Structure 1
């Protein structure tokens, strides 16, 4: 973090090279262990003016009441552990445990956009066995597996305004109310109704592969290249809708449940890094990462009961659809290390980090491109083999994302969804977000 990950693929300082470039293990002697944790605190909150319309068609809309949802992200602590061992002069092995991906957002219960998002959570942990081989002439190659266990949760409130309005209006007119009176009665029924709450949870295990190369171009310059395959997680679990009204029994509600799965695409990526010793006490680092996030086209929840479960028999299959259509991204990094004394090194870094969220921004992931500025320091005692790294960083978002989220069709993901009567779904959530973030990390390393 101290160098904003600049040149990480070409700078094997300690056992963390298992993650950044397994080929770097060939430059570590003996046995090495690194462990630590990072904390990430993102402040994300909708600004004044956030609003949502409910799914009642017609010229007189019903707007959702509620708040802006508060700060949606709590601080996250991300631990890690890495180990490498020199088997012979040309072969090294390693193992790592880390969090490769993650997401957490939670709105207050009275959030105005609660029909689009409430809680979003993805927790992933990867176990990474690796091996590297060196030709003894400056070229090394490493390969590794990422065995990823992931679990996720998606929640939101269900918008039944259109159904409640139609039922209440028909009953009022059958009772002799005029169309104007029936409209007023139906709107009051919508306001008084309790919203059903949908809760989906699931987990899965997947595997990705990483290969890396490290080449000593000169005694001062080193190049690194790594590539990682993509995969698809199928988070299998259960869906529940609580407080769902019982048809024909006013005031009565029930809980619907069904076995479901949520496919989630994980992208391929490639990283290039360079490390150059400019002066005896100054090293500069640079790098670039390309990730194929365009694999993530939609966030869908599918029935595992053949579309005949309690929920899918009402809503269809997929049970819900969210158009994502993320884009491929670049990250560029630049950093430097100043060896101020034999024990102390000072670090600084900058990264341009492109957001994959493009045209279809959502309340679950309100994001934009960001600049990453970092500072770090390292204390190292060559005699004992102990080293401690610490770093802090801040994320500066290029703009405050502003968007209108709609419900879209699964078959035609660019087209707005239709209601059961064929009318276009008029519901939407509109907001602008204020985003900021900071991070800090500490890593302890030991060579034996």
Structure 2
């Protein structure tokens, strides 16, 4: 039996790696809630205190101590977010302060995503349990159409993270247990945008003239530079910047579970922060060589890296059985998203690469910089389970999720606070031991996301470095669905 189970787990693990896709998460940072259909049915309420199955590996490794024998849970969730700028709210300005030549709203920027998962636990003895999980804790995907008004600030934004999570739990046999898990995460990301060559032309002209702004030049010379910049922009409308990279990062989760009585128990989990260093390549295609006194178009490339902060988090949960039929669940999660202050692309060639030689960043500065300055945020959850019969249970949940994005709302991550409403059901076959959970959820955003995207200085992150600006209000909505199969052996 164990050999068969191991073979099945390996196959499911391979499937998870093949079909894992990036997802969009425009609130709660870029973390994903859709990790388990059994927990999703109650909007993840009290998940740290309610070890229903092997998903305890993720939600609270201490919960494995309340599972007997060997347990397996596997499934998948589909997440689809509609995010589209309202055309009548769009305002764009190019690098020279002129009205933007592109006026499109970018279309619906988020495609549906599939999020598979698998978790396994095994009871070593009465005091020790071990487990392993594969899931997608973080994800982000946005893709604008080519005529997007903010194309000089964002085009494609992608992040896919797959976590491999070995865990262990120890119980004192008196209602208290502790668990520890390690998240070994593989992440890959992509950032792309069109480049407004007007800025490069003006910078080159100012350097040649030995001045810092156009205002310091005679009016006739200013007009000539602007005319030249606009002419080159028309000649090279599709200059494109694209950076891709990947990395492995590790963080830790520790959990506690305390059974106060047969009816009530409490859970607490804490996760450490970490940082990816996404190593890869930065390429700029269709770059106008004329801006450098050469003939174009040119293709520039350079080894690059993108630091990406993953926050610490703390989750508390409580489960209380009102009766054999009714269970109440509640919880809260605090995440330190203030770690995510910037989204920068650094040269991995010490500033000697082709792109750095053109951009000429100051020593120690990134090649490109995006100010983020996210805030720490809370998520609050409330849910309930009705055991209608021996075979059937029904679930419902609500969560309020604060957006960590406040002042610097970018076109890459248009964000707002959201309300998460979920319904779920569980069918159990007592004879075979199989359980099937299904859940659906909808996201209701508190308001339209108000984007005001600019280019900022790395040295002074609140100071704009160019006239480039994109403003719009985004209509956001979403739904999700999940299924999960669980069995105890």
Give TM-score scaled by structure 2 length.
0.85
How far residue 257 of structure 1 moved from its aligned partner, in angstroms, is: 0.3
Greater alpha carbon shift after TM alignment, 156-165 vs 44-53: 156-165
Q: Distance in 2 between matches of 1:218 and 1:62?
A: 66
Q: Deviations over 1:84-106 (max 9, x none)?
A: 00000111000000001000000
How far residue 186 of structure 1 moved from its aligned partner, in angstroms, is: 5.7
How far residue 371 of structure 1 moved from its aligned partner, in angstroms, is: 0.2
Q: Deviations over 1:312-342 (max 9, x none)?
A: 1221141100000000010000000000001
* Pairing 1:195–2:232 present: no
Q: Distance in 2 between matches of 1:227 and 1:167?
A: 51
Map 1:321-360; keep pairs closer than 5 Å.
321-360=369-408
Do the aligned residues in 2 keep the contact of 1:165 with 1:190 (CA within 8 Å)? no
| Alignment correspondent of 2:300 | 256
| Alignment correspondent of 1:88 | 125
Q: Distance in 2 between matches of 1:80 and 1:259?
A: 33
* Pairing 1:134–2:171 present: yes
| Alignment correspondent of 2:456 | 408
Map 1:65-144; keep pairs closer than 5 Å.
65-144=102-181
Unpaired stretches in structure 2, ≥5 consecutive residues: 1-39, 209-219
Q: Tell me the matched-pair count.
A: 432
| Alignment correspondent of 2:283 | 240
Within the candidate set 291, 295, 308, 2:352 is matched to 308
| Alignment correspondent of 2:341 | 297
Describe the shift of the 1:195–1:134 C-alpha distance in structure 2 as closer, same or farther (beyond 3 A).
Answer: same
How far residue 37 of structure 1 moved from its aligned partner, in angstroms, is: 0.2
How far residue 352 of structure 1 moved from its aligned partner, in angstroms, is: 0.3
Describe the shift of the 1:94–1:51 C-alpha distance in structure 2 as closer, same or farther (beyond 3 A).
Answer: same
Q: Distance in 1 between matches of 2:346 and 2:148?
A: 26
Within the candidate set 278, 281, 284, 2:322 is matched to 278
| Alignment correspondent of 1:212 | 255
Within the candidate set 418, 421, 426, 1:378 is matched to 426
Q: Deviations over 1:39-85 (max 9, x none)?
A: 1000000101313111115xxx2423231100000000000000000
Q: Deviations over 1:253-282 (max 9, x none)?
A: 111000000000000001000000012200
How far residue 178 of structure 1 moved from its aligned partner, in angstroms, is: 10
Unpaired stretches in structure 1, ≥5 consecutive residues: 171-176, 418-424
| Structure holding more helix per residue | 2
1:294 is paired with a residue whose SS is helix
| Alignment correspondent of 2:478 | 437
CA RMSD of aligned residues (A): 2.0
Q: Deviations over 1:111-142 (max 9, x none)?
A: 11110000000000000000001111111110
Do the aligned residues in 2 keep the contact of 1:200 with 1:237 (CA within 8 Å)? yes
1:311 is paired with a residue whose SS is helix
Describe the shift of the 1:339–1:166 C-alpha distance in structure 2 as closer, same or farther (beyond 3 A).
Answer: closer
| Alignment correspondent of 2:50 | 11
Describe the shift of the 1:296–1:185 C-alpha distance in structure 2 as closer, same or farther (beyond 3 A).
Answer: closer
Q: Distance in 2 between matches of 1:182 and 1:337?
A: 68
| Alignment correspondent of 1:146 | 183
1:384 is paired with a residue whose SS is coil
Do the aligned residues in 1 keep the contact of 2:197 with 2:288 (CA within 8 Å)? no
Q: Distance in 2 between matches of 1:280 and 1:196?
A: 65
How far residue 196 of structure 1 moved from its aligned partner, in angstroms, is: 1.1
Do the aligned residues in 2 keep the contact of 1:357 with 1:367 (CA within 8 Å)? yes
* Pairing 1:51–2:91 present: yes
Q: Distance in 1 between matches of 2:119 and 2:289?
A: 54
| Alignment correspondent of 2:467 | 426
| Alignment correspondent of 1:173 | none
Give TM-score scaled by structure 1 length.
0.93
Do the aligned residues in 2 keep the contact of 1:51 with 1:64 (CA within 8 Å)? no
2:358 is paired with a residue whose SS is helix
2:415 is paired with a residue whose SS is coil
| Alignment correspondent of 2:437 | 389
Describe the shift of the 1:410–1:193 C-alpha distance in structure 2 as closer, same or farther (beyond 3 A).
Answer: same
Q: Deviations over 1:365-423 (max 9, x none)?
A: 00100000000000012221100000000000000011321111101101111xxxxxx
How far residue 210 of structure 1 moved from its aligned partner, in angstroms, is: 0.5
Q: Distance in 2 between matches of 1:22 and 1:178?
A: 68
Do the aligned residues in 2 keep the contact of 1:165 with 1:189 (CA within 8 Å)? no
Do the aligned residues in 2 keep the contact of 1:164 with 1:190 (CA within 8 Å)? no
Do the aligned residues in 1 keep the contact of 2:53 with 2:71 (CA within 8 Å)? yes
